[in-house]
Amino acid sequence: MRITRVFGAALLALGLAAGPAAADSSPSPSASADDSAPTRAGTSFRTAAEVRQGQQATASASTGDYLYWSFPADVGQRPTVEATVKLPAAHGAQTWQIDVYDGLRRRQACQYGAATRTAGQGASTVDLACVLRTVRGWSEPWGNDPLPGTYYVRLTALDLGSADLGKPVGAEVRVDSKDIGGAAAADGSLGKPLVPGIAVKSESDGGGSRTAVLSSFGSDDGWSSGWWSDRWVWTAIGGVLAALAGIGGYALTRGAGRPSRVPPNV
How many angstroms separate the CA atoms of 197 and 213, rounded? 8
Kindly give the parts of the chain with pLDDT less than 70: 1-35, 181-191, 197-234, 255-266
How many angstroms separate the CA atoms of 70 and 49, rounded? 6
Helix (H) / strand (E) element for 108: namely strand 107-108
DSSP 84-148: EEE--SS---EEEEEEEE-TT-PEEPEEES--EEEEPTT--EEEEEEEEPPPPS---TT-----S
The pLDDT value recorded for residue 182 is 59
The pLDDT value recorded for residue 11 is 47
- Write the CB contacts of 178 (distance below 8 Å, at least 6 apart in sequence): 27, 28, 77, 78, 80
The pLDDT value recorded for residue 234 is 64
102 bridge partner residues: none
DSSP state of 243: H
- What is the model's pTM? 0.67
DSSP 66-97: -EEEEEEE-TTEEEEEEEEEE--SS---EEEE
Q: Are the CB atoms for 215 and 196 separated by under 8 Å? A: yes
Helix (H) / strand (E) element for 24: namely helix 2-24
The pLDDT value recorded for residue 48 is 94
How many angstroms separate the CA atoms of 78 and 176, rounded? 8
Nearest to 180 by CA among 110, 138, 133: 133
67 bridge partner residues: 155
The pLDDT value recorded for residue 157 is 93
Q: Are the CB atoms for 132 and 106 separated by under 8 Å? A: no
How many angstroms separate the CA atoms of 64 and 160, rounded? 8
Q: Are the CB atoms for 128 and 58 separated by under 8 Å? A: no
Q: Are the CB atoms for 76 and 50 separated by under 8 Å? A: no
**Would you kindly state where each structural domain of the chain is located, as residue ranges?**
1-25+230-248, 29-228
The pLDDT value recorded for residue 224 is 61
- Write the CB contacts of 132 (distance below 8 Å, at least 6 apart in sequence): 73, 78, 79, 80, 81, 100, 108, 110, 111, 146, 151
Nearest to 138 by CA among 229, 226, 217: 226
The pLDDT value recorded for residue 62 is 92
Helices (H) and strands (E) in the chain, counts: 2, 13
Convert the pLDDT of each residue in 95-116 to its tens digit: 999 999 998 899 999 999 999 9
The pLDDT value recorded for residue 201 is 45
